[in-house]
Amino acid sequence: MNTTLQITCAQRPMRRRLQTWIRALALGTLCLCAAAAGAQPVVAQKLRIVGGLAGLKQYLDYEEPFWTRTLTERSGGRFSADIVPFDRAGVPAQDMLRLMQIGVIPFGTAQISRAAVQDAVFGAVDLAGLNPDMASLRRSVAAFRPFLENTLRQRYGVELLSIYVYPAQMIFCAQPFQSLSDLAGRRIRVSGSSAADFIDAIGGIPIVTSMVEVIPNIRSGNVACAVTGSMTGNTLGLDKVTTHLYAMPVTWGVSLFGANANSWTALDPGLRVLLRDELPKLEARIWAANASETADGIACNIGSAACQGGRKGKMTLVPVAPQDEKLRARLLVSNVLPRWLRRCGPTCADVWNQTLGPVHDIMAPAPPLATATP
């Protein structure tokens, strides 16, 4: 299913920013194509990158420095890049993959949960409840990556270059609770379909909103809880408007960084080699940092002396009870996976069984055979 980029009259400032950025991206693409055609550029090649979420450590400490400094240093000044976070470029998250596919954004970062709006198959790797720790997530990504690479290349004309992960997405609540069952009836902010399936399965009421709407919704009482990153919540100030943090990761906020295939092949061959060598290092640093940031986010929100990278809050950490761990595993099989299969379509059971099923010892039932019409 294809989504269409819709910009309303009320979004004119965002539209102007997006149009300005698109013009800059188009100019960069023309330069790349001229270089590929044998023209002699006056200046070194400069890439235009749409990165991850603004204001978070992943963007500030890793993505932005890599593209604005490391690339130039590693190439001896031959190549450079500009980068802008997608949420400040006026690019709706659910349209990122489509804009990369048609070449409007040559190099971009797409959140898996939002790309799954366009094609549900992408959501499999980070289904809510599938990866209760980062070790499980690493196994999932390793198993799913070959399929993801091939699907992006063959179906969307996008070259997968990196897979990033944000800190664990956890449940922040403004009222006390002791277990998942206590969340029944509460309105809980989520960012994607899979987390919504999980919250619905425990009896909560999922409310899909953007990250910037979390604090206002908590303050207004529109939502009682929110699912977001452990450190992201601290950065947003969620620890000031909520009181309890649940230690169980719901999802991990996986995102992919890729390139439009034509833009990729138009690059100087030396730049392609350099990026293939350097981007896995950036990916590894981001994964290591966000594993640490998950724990640091918890420490900061509860005001622990171990807090290093955030602001010390006064939240109560709710530990994961053994019965909740069993409930997570049961809801994954009985609710989350079947709902994803229904959204994804008849071929997705095979995709699951060939990639993630064996890793987690959870096999999807084959879809029923169509019966012939007499």
What pLDDT does 94 receive?
86
273 sits in which H/E element: helix 269-301
Contacts of 290 (CB under 8 A, 6+ apart): 58, 165, 166, 167
Q: Torsion angle of alpha carbons 27, 95, 83, 267, nearest 10°?
A: -50
Of the listed ranges 126-140, 207-221, 251-265, 292-306, the one predicted with least confidence: 207-221
In this predicted structure, the answer to whether residue 91 has a pLDDT above a threshold of 90 is no
What pLDDT does 368 receive?
61
Report all structural domains of the chain as residue ranges with CATH numbers, in order of start: 17-166+253-294 (3.40.190.170), 169-251+304-360 (3.40.190.170)
Q: What SS3 class is residue 266?
A: coil
86-96 average pLDDT score: 86
Q: Torsion angle of alpha carbons 112, 116, 121, 126, nearest 10°?
A: 40
What pLDDT does 332 receive?
97
What pLDDT does 87 receive?
86
What pLDDT does 40 receive?
42
Q: What digits encode the pLDDT tens for the residues 281-321?
A: 999 999 999 999 999 999 999 999 999 989 999 999 999 99
- Cα angle, residue 357 at apex, residues 292 and 152 outer, rounded to 5°: 75
Contacts of 87 (CB under 8 A, 6+ apart): 53, 54, 93, 211, 212
In this predicted structure, the answer to whether residue 30 has a pLDDT above a threshold of 50 is no
Q: What digits encode the pLDDT tens for the residues 231-283?
A: 989 988 999 999 999 999 999 989 999 999 999 999 999 999 999 999 999 99
- Cα angle, residue 284 at apex, residues 154 and 233 outer, rounded to 5°: 95
Q: Tell me the residue type at 15.
A: R
62-91 average pLDDT score: 94
How would you classify the pairing of strands 79-85 and 45-51?
Answer: parallel
